[in-house]
Chains A and B, each alone.
Chain A
Amino acid sequence: MLLNQFLILGAVLFCIGVYGVLARKNAVMVLMSIELMLNAVNINMVAFGFQHEVVSGQVFALFIIAVAAAEVGVGLAIVLLLYRNQTSIDVEDFDLMKG
């Protein structure tokens, strides 16, 4: 197996995630796309760990999973709050920062 197999898979997933974050209107789907990006990073971590025969790759992948879980929790709470206050979770509706 080539190292690049995994790295390219990660890169493709990352870019799909970027597209999802930038294009989707629903805030929950934006969050899901962020998960996709984080997973893409994880593949790289594990693949490089395997390549260099170190365990740190797996350890950091685990840390990333934990951080992602925390991020989802807080992110969904914020989305819920937004929904309650604005009755919308369309990210395009939130333009309070409009200059």
Chain B
Amino acid sequence: MVAQNIAFGIISGIVVFSALRMVTTRNIVHSALFLVAVLAGLSGQYVLLAAEFVATTQVLVYIGAVMVLFLFGIMLTKAPIGKSMEMTGTQWPIAAGVALMLGAVILYSLIDQFGSDRLTEGGKIYRTADVGDEVFSTYIIPFEAISVLLLAALIGAIVLARKD
């Protein structure tokens, strides 16, 4: 368990640092790249939690697809690259206050509720095949609904973004 703990510590350090830099950096492309670091780190955390399929999907969908979409979005909106533009609004103190308040209450209740509960060791590990079985049996209806949702989003995005 020590190895996992060390891995967790390193990865979380990277993730939290990247996340903080992501919301504070003044360069939007850097921000996007920090997000990539966060997502990759989270993928590592999923591996630690024995969720291999989620980890793979995270890399494929988020880092592979969503990030490319973001970079295209940045490109198409011709955001000034570099430090020319003020990226953080004037109200950042309020935002920080709200975030801190929210964080405090969540942390308090987490520690209060789960204290030092240990993760189950040697429990059942669900492999990709099990996830697939579950998705296509128990959760077939939500799965179909998600398919339709993605289609609708696709069409909606095209309708919104096309030039006419």
Chain B residues within 8 Å of A, Cβ to Cβ: 1, 4-5, 8, 12, 15-16, 19-20, 22-23, 28, 31-32, 35, 38-39, 42, 45-46, 48-51, 53-54, 57-58, 61-62, 65-66, 69-70, 72-74, 76-79, 85-89, 91-92, 94-96, 98-100, 102-103, 106-107, 110-111, 114-120, 123-124, 126, 130-131, 134-135, 138-139, 142-143, 146, 149-150, 152-154, 156-158, 160-161, 163
Contact = CB atoms under 8 A, between A and B. Distances in A.
Nearest to A81: B160
A76 B73 contact: yes
Nearest to B5: A1
A23 to B, nearest CB: 4
14 contacts: A4-B111, A14-B103, A16-B20, A16-B22, A17-B23, A19-B92, A28-B77, A28-B79, A29-B87, A32-B31, A42-B58, A49-B126, A59-B134, A83-B78
Contact of A24 (B5, B57, B88, B131): B88
State the majority secondary structure of interface residues on A.
Answer: helix
Contacts of A29: 23, 28, 31, 87
A51 B50 CA distance: 11
A98 to B, nearest CB: 15
A23 B88 contact: yes
B118 A2 contact: yes
Nearest to A5: B8
Interface string A62-96: 11011111111110111111011000010110000
B50 A73 contact: no
Contacts of B5: 1
Smallest CB-CB A-B distances: 8 pairs: A22-B95, A70-B153, A20-B23, A15-B103, A23-B95, A77-B160, A19-B99, A77-B157
B20 A51 contact: no
Contacts of B152: 70
Contacts of A91: 89
B70 A59 contact: no
B153 to A, nearest CB: 4
Contact of B146 (A12, A57, A61, A63): A63
Nearest to B55: A46
B23 A39 contact: no
A54 to B, nearest CB: 8
A33 B15 CA distance: 14
